[in-house]
Structure 1
């Protein structure tokens, strides 16, 4: 009994010691060697594999993610009793010693644990002292680490030919796939490489023969495996290190420089990346005679904010264009590509609506006298036309009208880096006076593609798609998109030339001095930014946005629907809080009865400027003299004619453009008092009543207030406003039913289609 107790105590002590060794803090085997870094595309394709710090290609893949065929093959080849022995197999050592020292074929008796010990501690196990040391260290590893961790470490550190270690690095290099995806045939091939030191990585006859021998063992061990009936005996083709993937170099280098993770899973779509690289290369080759040698393109999916393609130069390997420079991160003058955001701010601040008329005429803003690109002035334009035609004078005028934020403040809030103080740029910032990168410009257009909120550009799958502060309202963002969709293609083809519902809302830009040509916009669900120029900043008259960048932009835009046949662009629905109204085409205001042509426009109720047009007015003309007639009018000798009352400076612009407008008679001033609108004929509000508080019940949503007014006999339409908000229109014979949004005081205003108006204060309260 005492002896048994002694043995039990000894076994207990050993067990406690083993548990203590296992639990005692120690570095994981993953930290035993430096690792390579890998950049992957969204589909898992290899973009870049770097060397580890010791010059090896080495990646770490958790055991659970290694293909089961790979694990089974390595155990079959190297250590069939791995899970039964404590780190050393005495029978294997005896068998190897007898074969080696009896003059037979040299054999190895090392277990996986022993091989890992030799690898970790740099042992020379060919001599007996080294072998004994290897045995001791293998037992030490087994005591300190689990079988799971030892097998995982071996699979990731085993020599796989040259400077390649581990099954993940080997699988990526030889087969272009992760070790997760290895087939049985490929797994058997990798399993024999560690024991072929002179032929590691060379898939020649000897290695193929070793694979076939291991395959025979596999079929003997797994006779019912359905994979045995496959084409396992066919020679296996493998790539070399010289064929190692080197794709999307600018994106790969950007991620490697700015992220610390070993495995970088980018959002890049490899087919789209190849498509953009090919299109840029072809475009530059075609335009080389014009001095076009370099271009940049960035494609972002607005649905999840992910970068799908990034081409930082036309040729990464060309030293003549400094091709290794990443142009997507280079700062350049954006030209007119910022104008959409200027117009968005003006829409939000109530300066314009899309059909507002803006004057494009020679104008001085202090000592700043902007000119248009063509050196001409177009006269009155709608805001939409001014944006689409990229007129500079209207843009500078808008910049002078907006505040809180100004365009500079907007760019600051958007996170644009390296902006100087606002006074440095002045109003010239509206014309591209600052500098930003294509990546920053894509971020701005990503904002425009959504609801006006700032969004980050995602380069990796683990980056969250964050939504930041609102910089434009959803209504303004939609209106700007709608305006830009009216920008005609540079080749004159219809927008739907490909027959797909992929609307394009786009804008060009040309920097001062012809240094940079830009085109940026929305193509279906994607944001696309294109830049053409050279990294040295040398000017070239060919660097014009419309003539150089736009053709490349549309070459890509036309190819995207064909490359992505399963992607359907959704219809851009207007957000709530946006209304549509008919305005006079010539003035952009609500049409009076003499407006000859109308068009519809979007507007934000309570924000967008809405008033009744006074551009078209009637004048009684004496048939004999052709001059204005004064009352009383003789029907036999006078007639009513409609004139457009344009300011004199715009009249001169029309004349200079060869489009003279019919001017009102010079003698009109003699009858001005009689011809002026008579406020005694202004509409008279009959409902709501004065000095009455109108009570509406929340429980009765159909209750409303009837808006009615008496009007002069020449009035045909009445427009009703609450403050600056257009409520709707009615006729003098009908009522407009209105239900306010909340209790409070309102200032009601009614205007007829001749510009006459009247107003009345109103108190409203809501009851349960």
Structure 2
């Protein structure tokens, strides 16, 4: 019997002969490499349950972000592997960035177990059929590649990536994985993570990103070199991301890459460099550091220094340092370590606020404060500005002249050397040396080696030391440490190093008019308590002031110690000091605060004889009001028959009248 042949339709025959779509798909899935991939996937699935917990972000170093007191960025540091990578928790990332990243990178992230098998098959099919590679990596797989530095261009590498992805999904939640990815994703050049990208590109934290900014960032990780916001980008990816987003977010269709205010990496912040370096040296384990610095005040002082040096460069003034501290909180508001951090000619990376330098006469106020406390003087006491030898030490005044009898307040105001050294020789428990050591000033030598040179700058101290000491005068004799971060746990209440009455009187003695030096000064509408200093050999010029609730210190000099005859505190540092004070008061005006004695202070004002400094007697014709500390100040009633003697400027011999009791060693006031 003849077999019946059923004819095959021509259309179907054509499909089979030419390899129709369904048949082609069968041939693909029967291919050995597809079977291998399926086998690998099944193996990975079984291994998944047995895998140990892998590290997620352990041993990953992150940058530190330093901000001023108002949240303004000062610096982002590089990590140990030279990346900008800021740790940012998922809760601190804009929901718009999270949503746009998931839409662009992994639509089914919340559904798949770390690997999307359908995407893998689609990618394999497209590659086999048309040679076109389509992405199949999930966010978890991308995290595995980034975290474990995998090469996924080979079949073996892809298998390891899949296993690692399943391993991550086995031990971590979707939120933890997404958080880790957004901290490691590449955003162009050496920028990694959404936190660093948002800060560098847009100057804001990741939680403040707008929707357009979020879309712009979400397309970068797939091709970070080509799509970085400071490079020529392929806007087709942006357009694709926008197109999927418009209907939900109702974004203006005029959205364009040119509207982004992206910042180039070359414009990254490097502000207040000396201050930031000091903070980073003490805050090594914190990623986000909010400091006490006020960037506006910092930049104002930097401008004043730059302008001043530009104006006075012809006098050899080319470097300066300054620091501004709030005496109420002891917070450092501004710190300028040098005139130019990047100028190697002036050794600009040296921090002048921390470098030990000779303070000149800036320590004299503390000699007077201790003398007031120990009952040696009161502000109107008469001191001797006359030639005197202290063993082998023969100090001189700056002008090499002597004025004879002089009130204590005038001797400090005019910075006379002889009265200060004389008082220092009479101090006991504490001496000036003991006082400085107790205040935390590092003095490497013994007291006997310094001798009586300390009041005149015989020991090196730092600007920070001086600022703390002058702030103690403003805080009623209470010494407090400086604070540089908002989380500084330093106790606000300090310890008393000077009795409140002596601190108040010392500050009153420093309430001086501005010196007349050209046009550098203007009229002083509000009180400024200030002092200058000049080191031996004209190597350092200082000026320090207490005003309102601030203490400001200024230094002029060279870090290499080169001398300059213009380095005199009164004519080099003081003009800059008052220019800064005027700028601060003009920019941030504050109500005038009178200088009043501390509450409950043991102080009284009395009428004293202008000649003797004691209570007026029968022969006193000139009287003046003054403060004294009852029970401590050496004030008594004397007659004032004699007046002060004058001294010849150079040879130091006394010019005597017949009625004066003159001697080579002292003058007499009876």
**Interval of TM-score (by shorter of Structure 1 and Structure 2):** 0.7 to 0.9
> Corresponding residue for 2:70?
43
Which of the residues 539, 544, 557 maps onto 1:515? 539
Query: How big is each residue's C-alpha offset from its partner over 1:98-147, in whole Å with a ceiling of 9 and x where there is no partner?
Result: 44444285332222211101111222334443333322211211222222
Q: Work out the CA distance in 1 between the residues paired with 2:419 and 2:254.
A: 72
1:545 to 569, 572, 584: 569
1:485-544, CA deviations, whole angstroms, 9 ceiling, x for partnerless residues? Answer: 125344488998375x5x311100011111111111213221111111111112111111
d(CA) in 2 for partners of 1:364, 1:481: 29
Change (3 A) 1:305 1:486: same
Deviations 1:589-645 (A, max 9, x none): 222344223222222222222212321xxxxxxxxxxxxxxxxxxxxxxxxxxxx32
Compared CA separation, residues 558 and 443, structure 1 to 2 (3 A)? same
Q: Classify the secondary structure of the residue corresponding to 1:520.
A: strand
Task: Indicate whether 1:506 and 2:530 are aligned.
Answer: yes
Contact 1:30 1:60 in 2 (8 A): no
Partner of 1:253: 277
Give the whole-Å Cα distance in 1 for the aligned partners of 2:135 and 2:466.
62
CA contact (8 A) 1:363 1:393 kept: yes
SS in 1 for 2:162: helix
Residues 128, 186 of structure 1: CA spacing in aligned structure 2 closer, same or farther, 3 A cutoff?
A: same
Q: Which residue of 2 aligns with 1:235?
A: 259
Residue 393 of structure 1 pairs with residue 393 of structure 2: no
Give yes or no for contact 1:495–1:504 (8 Å, CA) kept in 2.
no
Distance in 1, matches of 2:610 and 2:239, equals 82
Measured against aligned partners, the alpha-carbon deviations of 1:444-475 in whole angstroms (never above 9, x if no partner) come to 11212212121111122222343332111122
Q: Which residue of 2 aligns with 1:765?
A: none
**Structure 2 residue runs without a partner (length 5+):** 1-44, 662-669
TM-score, normalised to structure 2, is 0.84
Q: 1:221 to 1:91 in 2, by over 3 A?
A: farther
Retained in 1: the 8 A contact 2:364–2:455? yes
Does structure 1 conserve the Cα–Cα contact (< 8 Å) formed by 2:402 and 2:649? no
Cα separation, 1, equivalents of 2:522 and 2:574: 17
Structure 1 pair 74/497, CA: closer, same or farther in 2 (3 Å)?
farther
Which secondary structure does the structure 2 equivalent of 1:106 belong to?
coil
Cα shift at 1:239: 1.8
TM-superposition CA deviations, 1:547-597 (whole Å, max 9, x none): 1111111111111112324x5464333112222222222222222344223
User: Is the contact between residue 189 and residue 208 of structure 1 (CA under 8 Å) also seen in structure 2?
Assistant: no
CA contact (8 A) 1:356 1:588 kept: yes
Counterpart position of 2:448: 423
User: For 1:10-61, what per-residue CA distance to the aligned partner results, in whole angstroms no more than 9, with x for missing partners?
Assistant: xxxx9xx98x98xx8865x332522223333223333232321122221211
CA RMSD of aligned residues (A): 3.0
2:298 aligned residue = 273
1:564 matched to 2:591:
no
Pairing partner for 1:480 from 488, 506, 510 = 506
What is the match of residue 176 of structure 1? 203
- The reply on whether 1:350 has 2:344 as its aligned counterpart is no
Contact 1:490 1:547 in 2 (8 A): no
What's the secondary structure of 1:369's corresponding residue?
Answer: coil
| 3-state secondary structure, aligned to 1:195 | coil
Question: Residue 590 of structure 1 contacts residue 612 of structure 1 at CA under 8 Å; is this kept in 2?
Answer: yes
Distance in 2, matches of 1:187 and 1:100, equals: 31
Query: Could you tell me how far 1:653 is from its partner in structure 2?
Result: 3.8
SS at 1:169 equivalent: helix
CA contact (8 A) 2:521 2:575 kept: no
2:89 pairs with one of 62, 86, 94: 62
Q: 2:136 aligns with which of 102, 106, 109?
A: 109
Greater strand share, structure number: 1
Give SS of 2:551's match: strand
C-alpha distance in 2 between matches for 1:115 and 1:244: 28
1:384 to 384, 404, 409: 409
Structure 1: state its 5+ residue gaps. 1-13, 616-643, 667-754, 756-768
Check if 1:645 corresponds to 2:613. no
* TM-score, length-scaled by structure 1: 0.74
**Shift, 1:267, TM fit:** 1.9
Contact 1:342/1:430 (8 A) holds in 2? yes
Report the 3-state secondary structure (helix = DSSP H, G, I; strand = E; otherwise coil) of the residue aligned with 2:245. Answer: helix
SS in 2 for 1:199: helix
Secondary structure at the aligned position of 1:30 is classed as: coil
SS of the aligned residue for 2:627 comes to strand
What is the SS of the residue equivalent to 1:600?
strand
Report the counterpart of residue 299 of structure 1 in structure 2.
Answer: 324
Name the CA distance, whole Å, in 2 between partners of 1:73 and 1:498: 59
SS at match of 2:219: helix
**How far apart, CA to CA, are the structure 1 residues paired with 2:605 and 2:519?**
29
What is the alpha-carbon distance in structure 2 between the residues aligned to residue 555 and residue 399 of structure 1? 33
Contact 1:196 1:207 (C-alpha < 8 Å) held by counterparts: no
Secondary structure of 2:307 counterpart: helix
Please list, as runs of the form range in 1=range in 2, the aligned pairs for 1:151-230 lying within 5 A after superposition. 151-203=178-230, 206-223=233-250, 228=251
1:497 to 2:523 alignment: yes
**For each residue in 1:712-747, what CA deviation from the matched residue of structure 2 results, as whole angstroms up to 9, or x when unmatched?**
xxxxxxxxxxxxxxxxxxxxxxxxxxxxxxxxxxxx
1:246 Cα deviation from its structure 2 partner: 1.7
**Counterpart check, 1:405 vs 2:405:** no
